[in-house]
Structure 1
Amino acid sequence: MHELGLMTGVMDAAVEAARGAGATRLLGVKVSIGEATEAVEDALVFAFEALAEADDFTRGATLDLTMIRPRSLCLECGEEFEHDLYSRFCPKCDSFATELLAGRELQIDSIEVDVPDA
């Protein structure tokens, strides 16, 4: 289950950023992850919730997860197209000479924190 490892990295980065900003709590994390990572959405959510409950600083934090569909570019005809994990043939010219443009990313888009009144 590599989802736990992925969410551990996300949680560690979000907590470090939140603490660096002087936050008293991490309230939420917005994450985009590509479907080509083969991470299971439900397992990602489960892992995040389990990690969030392990610490007072993160307890109750929410995850806003966006799954990015794979998108490729045909190197023969220039067609850009979305596809599933296994069918990377160009729908225009049927070439397999394609380059994956999106679908393997993992990024934290934003975090929501609670900061003390100044």
Structure 2
Amino acid sequence: MHELGIVFHIIDSLKEVGEENHLKQIAGVTLEVGEVSGVLEDYLQSCWRWASDRTELLKGASLTVEQIPAVTFCEDCKQTYSTTEFGKICPYCKSEHTYLAAGNEFNIKEITAC
């Protein structure tokens, strides 16, 4: 369960933002999570509730998760396509010279302060 590690990383980042901006309380956080990142939202939400309530800055803060679609780029025909629908083989030219262009990341998108 790497979700707890992700939550700790997010909380550390939010503490830095809170200190830099003199925030006393954060009401909510919007997180972008890649479709093929391996992060399970139910576990992430559960870990968030447990960990955020142990931090004064984040006590009671909500977590909203937005999914970043997985997109693969084909180096041969220069097209992009849905990774989850077609996998590694390009549906346009059948090449295997492809790589994941988006969908494996997670980012803090928005912070809502009280």
Q: CA deviation at 1:31?
A: 0.9
Taking only aligned residues, the RMSD between alpha carbons, in angstroms, comes to 1.6
How many residues align structurally? 114
Q: 1:41 to 1:86 in 2, by over 3 A?
A: farther
Query: Partners of 1:7 and 1:75 in 2: how far apart?
Result: 35
1:14-29 pair list within 5 angstroms = 14-29=14-29
Q: Match of 2:58?
A: 58
1:31 aligns with 2:31: yes
Structure 2 letter corresponding to 1:78 = K
Structure 1 letter corresponding to 2:98 = T
- Which consecutive aligned stretches of 4+ in structure 1 deviate over 6 angstroms post-superposition? none
1:38-77 pair list within 5 angstroms = 38-77=38-77
Structure 1 alignment gaps of length 5 or more = none
TM-score, reference length from structure 1? 0.87
Structure 2 alignment gaps of length 5 or more = none
Query: Partners of 2:94 and 2:51 in 1: how far apart?
Result: 44
Percent of pairs with identical residues:
27
| SS of corresponding position for 1:11 | helix
Q: CA deviation at 1:86?
A: 8.0
Query: Partners of 1:7 and 1:70 in 2: how far apart?
Result: 22
